[in-house]
Chain A
Amino acid sequence: MLDMSVYIALVAFAIAMIGIVFRAIKGPSTADRVIALDSLGISLIAVTALFSILLRTSVFLEVILLLGILAFIGTVAFSKYIEKGAIIDRDRHK
């Protein structure tokens, strides 16, 4: 029963990721694409957790943490780029 429900959840997340990729391709503004890629990374965290249940191993759990951190850093960097045009400011004296 557990394996069956994990397979169902994997199929559901695959369908969800197809929808999210549709938004990332179509999205009218850049921010739409950034939101779509952010939630794609978050769905990937869930897929990693489901695969580590399916394979009965706990060595992929660092990947969960790493994907969360990388998705957050990417979203923050892109939002700074959209808002200011630069990710790391260089003018110290204002």
Chain B
Amino acid sequence: MIDISEYFVVAFILIGAFFGVVTAIGLIRLPDLYTRTHAASKSATLGVMSVLIGALLFFFTEEGMFNSRIVLGIFFVLITAPVGGHLIARAAYNTGVKLAPESIQDDLAKKEQFEAKKKKNSSRD
């Protein structure tokens, strides 16, 4: 194995492990569901993509084989992990999961109040 590529593989793997730990710390310490979704979807995606890039580089230099399955896995994780985070956060908001008490603004609730008031006015006319 070429020596310089080994350093790159090690760097990618360690960056991925760091972001994996950051995901867990964010999931434990952040106050409400929406901030936890933020931590989980972004940093977990970045960490796993970094580990997979390290694996791709390793198999490319070790066996001389460009592994298309890892490339497909990288793109799939990149596309689907934020979509999953969005879907679960929207489902939680629609079923009434509260924001953290520190949060100061909720524009979606204001919009729903505004539309309910508009509907009431138009039915009165």
Contacts and interface: CB of A to CB of B under 8 A. Distances in A.
Interface in B33-61: 33, 36-37, 40, 44-45, 47-48, 51-52, 54-55, 58-59
Contact of A31 (B10, B47, B70, B88): B88
A20 B23 contact: yes
A56 to B, nearest CB: 7
B50 to A, nearest CB: 9
Interface in A27-69: 29, 31-32, 34-36, 38-39, 42-43, 45-46, 49-50, 52-53, 56, 58, 61-62, 64-65, 68-69
Interface residues of B, number: 54
Given A20-B27, A36-B27, A68 B73 contact: yes
Contact of B84 (A12, A38, A45, A49): A38
B114 interface: no
Given A42-B81, A79-B87, A5 B23 contact: no
A2 interface: yes
B85 A35 contact: yes
Nearest to A32: B33
B63 A58 contact: yes
Interface centre among B10, B84, B85 (most CB of A within 10 A): B84
Contacts of B83: 72
B40 A79 contact: no
A56 B92 CA distance: 42
Interface of A: 1-2, 5-6, 8-9, 12-13, 15-20, 22-23, 29, 31-32, 34-36, 38-39, 42-43, 45-46, 49-50, 52-53, 56, 58, 61-62, 64-65, 68-69, 71-72, 75-76, 78-80, 82-83
Interface of B: 1, 6, 9-10, 13-14, 16-18, 20-21, 23-25, 27-28, 33, 36-37, 40, 44-45, 47-48, 51-52, 54-55, 58-59, 62-63, 65, 67, 69-70, 72-73, 76-77, 80-81, 83-85, 87-92, 94-95, 97
